[in-house]
Amino acid sequence: MIKDSSLLFLGGAPRSGTTWVQLLLFHSGLFASSQETHLFSGYLKSLQNSWSFYSSDKPARDGVGIGAFMDEATMLTHAKAFTDHVLAGIAKTVPNAPFLLEKTPSHIQHTDFIWQLYPAARMVHIVRDPRAVVASLIAASNSWAGKWAAPVARKNIWTWKNHIAKGREIENDPRVYTLKYEDLLQSPVAGLRELYRWLGKDIPDAALQEAIDACALDKVKDGKVEAPWKMSSEPKGFYRKAGTDAWKNELSREDIMLIEELCSEEMVHYGYEVSQ
C-alpha cells in the first residue's frame, strides 16, 4: 500500500534541472525512484480529460462515455489501483525507503488528478529562467528531442509559461515546495537543507555536500552517478553545462526580447532580471 505522505513528485517546465534534483535526492538513500513514468501526463491524461469532457456534455448527450456505467468514485478507484501498481514497482527498487520520488516534469500540470488519488502527496516545483529553458529546448530540438521541443523560441516560450502557470496556481498550497534552479546552483547545501526540512528530515550538511559532489555535472555527463536507471540510456546532449547565463550566447537578441516580453510578469514574480 502506497502512503500518500511518502509520495514526492518533482515537476516543472522541461529542461529546468529536474533530473539533477532527482539525482541529488536519490543519493541520500531515502528515496525509491525511477526514470520518468509519464503516469499522469501520458497514460492517465486521456482518462482524466475524457471523463471531464463527457461528464460536462450532459444532459445534451446523456449516456455517452463510460460515465453511463460507473460514477466518478468508481472510476477513481480503478485509476488508483493502476497507479498503485506502478508506484509499488518503483517502491520495490529501494525497500523500506521512507519516500517515493517520481520525476516527470509535466506532472506539475496534473496535480488536480494526482491529489484526487493521493491527497497528501507533495510536489516540488522546479523553476528556471525562461531564457535558459528556451535555449536548452532549442538545442534539444536539434538532436534528441525533435519530436516535442521546437527549433524556434515562441513555441518553447509557451511550454515554459504553461508549466509555470500551473505552478503559480498551486504555489501557496502547503503540499507544494517551489525551488529555483539558480538558487540551488548558487547555494546547493542551503537549498537542499531547506528542502529536506520541508520534508521533515534534518540531514547533516556533510551528507548534503557529499551528494552535491557525487552529482557534479561532469560525473553526470560521464554516467558516473548512482541513478535509478541506466545513465548510458540518456541520449547524447541530454546533459548540458550547469550555469545560469549560457543563454546569452545561445539566443539571438530577437529571441531574448521576445522571451522577456512574453514572460515579463512571471520573471518579475520569480525574481529574474530583464536584460533588455
> Where residue 68 falls among pLDDT bands split at 50, 70, 90?
confident
Asked whether residue 276 is domain-assigned, the answer is no
pLDDT at residue 211, rounded to an integer = 96
What is the tally of structural domains in the chain?
1
> Where residue 63 falls among pLDDT bands split at 50, 70, 90?
confident
Asked whether residue 108 is domain-assigned, the answer is yes
Query: Does the reported pTM lie above 0.75?
Result: yes
Asked whether residue 101 is domain-assigned, the answer is yes
Checking if the pLDDT of 60 tops 60, the result is: no
> Where residue 222 falls among pLDDT bands split at 50, 70, 90?
confident
Question: Which cell numbers in the block locate residue 44?
Answer: 492517465
Q: What is the CATH number of the domain that holds 96?
A: 3.40.50.300
Burial class of residue 255 in the structure, from the number of CB atoms within 10 Å of its CB (0-12 exposed, 13-18 middle, 19+ buried): buried
> Where residue 62 falls among pLDDT bands split at 50, 70, 90?
low
Checking if the pLDDT of 109 tops 70, the result is: yes
> Where residue 210 falls among pLDDT bands split at 50, 70, 90?
very high
DSSP states of 98-161 as a string? SEEEEE-GGGGGGHHHHHHH-TT-EEEEEE--HHHHHHHHHHHHTTTTTTTS-SSHHHHHHHHH
Range of the domain at 118: 4-270
In terms of pLDDT, which residue wins out, 238 or 269? 269
Name every residue whose Cβ is closer than 8 Å to that of residue 134 and which is 6 or more positions away in sequence: 153, 156, 157, 160, 247, 251, 255, 259
Burial class of residue 102 in the structure, from the number of CB atoms within 10 Å of its CB (0-12 exposed, 13-18 middle, 19+ buried): buried
Asked whether residue 70 is domain-assigned, the answer is yes
Asked whether residue 243 is domain-assigned, the answer is yes
